[in-house]
Amino acid sequence: MVTSNNNSSLTSCVGKTDKDTTIAEIQSIPRWHFAMLNDHQRNQAFFDAIEATDFVGKTVLDIGTGTGLLAMLIARRGAQHVYTCECNELVAEKAKEIIKANGLQERITVINKLSTDLLSGIDIPKELDVLVSETVDCGFFGEGFGYALLHAQSNLLKADAEIIPGAVSLTACLLSSQEVANLNYIYDDIFGLDVSAFNSFRTQGYFPVRLNTWEHRLISNAVDLYESSFYTGFSFNTAEQIIFSAQANALAHGVVFWFNLKLKDDIVLSNDPHNPRSHWMQAVHLFEHPVYVRRGHDYQVDLSISPKGVKFSDSLMASVLENIAS
């Protein structure tokens, strides 16, 4: 997966051994790599999708190599050559080490760049046959998948290139959970002291939550937020109003949403709340102020999807249509 290198003190790791790597450098590597690599559901899904794809004689772009796992699976499946990019220098060098240890270094080229910085005909051959990427977070767009895909389609791939994954949809519900709300907001005085000014540091937008570890209720119908094929009509610039129908009298603290990622045919990965096996948690966006909703009534929230990700408005309102009808 693509990672951001925000540690300006990270020094060159070319030629380093594990003994030379500093604690600060190790700590610069996101911990989610371990959960991801131990996510057997995720590994099996990508393995199945790769096994179901004809890679023989084809050139492949793998965006966000991490350990090089997907690149190695693709090379083993018969690809002519895999070009895989990783923007974190330390991770890129480790991927080279892992790939060499598995005897696939002649079939895989690791490039220490963002995919959007790759130069066709220089870093990689012109017009590659297949794109594989898993640069997604719990809300799907947060790791820059949209940017990377559109850039690759315009600059790096053949017009009929195969893409894994091939499509995505997003689904959401209203969430009632004081415990989850407490993860990102201070509601009460503490021993008579007001520390509410600290709320200016709360997460703006969504953040990952493992819902089944906290007391919660999903209090509306499930609403389809977004659906797109990556082959035709892919767009991630949208703004609209989403209508939820409350299914309980309860306090709505925010919105929880998740993705359904179609890798190939019927091979789908999802981080929906009923799937505790996924290393991807659910995405939660809290309203600035909780809103009491009534069963059978409709409520609306503004939604925008952009290259920066998925964003909901900070307030929930009774549906305009319902107000007109009343």
In the predicted structure, residue 123 carries a pLDDT above the cut 60: yes
Return the exposure string of 303-320: e unless at least 16 CB atoms fall within 10 Å of the residue's CB, then b.
Answer: bebeeebbbbbeebeebe
* Residues 191-228: tens digit of each pLDDT: 999 999 999 999 989 999 999 999 999 999 999 999 99
Instruction: Answer yes or no: is pLDDT of 156 > 80.
Output: yes
What would the two tokens of residue 60 be? Answer: 């492949």
CA distance 43 to 288: 37
Q: What CA–CA distance (Å, rounded) separates 57 from 245?
A: 51
Measured CA to CA, the distance from residue 199 to residue 31 in angstroms comes to 26
Rounded to two decimals, what is the model's pTM? 0.87
CB atoms inside a 10 Å sphere around CB 6: 7
Supply the pLDDT for residue 12: 38
CB neighbour class for 217 (10 Å; exposed up to 12, middle 13-18, buried from 19) = middle
So what's the architecture of 29-164 in CATH?
A: 3-Layer(aba) Sandwich (3.40)
| DSSP string for 220-283 | B--EEEEEEESSSS----EEEEEEEEB-SSEEEEEEEEEEEEEEETTEEEE--TT-TT-SS-EE
**Could you report the per-residue pLDDT of 166-182, keeping only the tens digit for each?**
999 999 999 999 999 99
Contacts of 23 (CB under 8 A, 6+ apart): none
Mean local confidence (pLDDT), 101-118: 97
**pLDDT at 142 (0 to 100):** 87
**What is the structure's pLDDT at 13?**
41
Residue 223 has what pLDDT?
A: 98
Fold of 168-318: Hnrnp arginine n-methyltransferase1 (2.70.160)
Q: Where are the domains of the chain?
A: 29-164, 168-318
* Residue 18: band (very low, low, confident or very high) from pLDDT cuts 50, 70, 90: low
Give 19's pLDDT tier (boundaries 50, 70, 90). Answer: low
pLDDT digits (tens, 9 = 90+) for 221-272: 999 999 999 987 677 778 899 999 999 999 999 999 999 999 999 999 999 9
The yes-or-no verdict on residue 321 having pLDDT over 70 is no
Query: What would the pLDDT profile of 30-84 be if each residue is shown by its tens digit?
Result: 898 899 999 999 999 999 999 999 999 999 999 999 999 999 999 999 999 999 9
Element (H, E) at 93: helix 89-101
Crossing angle for the helix pair 40-51 and 69-76, to the nearest 10 degrees: 30
Q: What is the pLDDT of residue 20?
A: 66
Instruction: For residue 3, name the pLDDT band (cuts at 50, 70, 90).
Output: very low
Report which of 102, 93, 97, 96 is spatially closest to residue 73, judged by C-alpha positions: 102
> Quick one: pLDDT band at residue 24, thresholds 50, 70, 90?
confident
Report CA dihedral (15, 18, 22, 25) to the nearest 10 degrees: 80
d(CA 134, CA 1): 6
DSSP 94-132: HHHHHHHHTT-TTTEEEE-S-GGG--BTTTB-SSEEEEE
Peptide bond into 165 cis (omega under 30): yes
Tokens at 321, concatenated:
């249509």
Per the prediction, the chain carries an average pLDDT of: 90
Task: Give me the mean pLDDT over the 269-279 stretch.
Answer: 96
Phi, psi of 73, rounded to the nearest 5 degrees: -60, -40
What pLDDT is attached to residue 38? 94
pLDDT of residue 323: 46
Query: Does residue 10 surpass a pLDDT of 50?
Result: no
What pLDDT shows up at residue 9?
A: 34
Between the alpha carbon of residue 156 and those of residues 119, 143, 151, 233, 284, the distances in Å are: 8, 19, 7, 18, 34
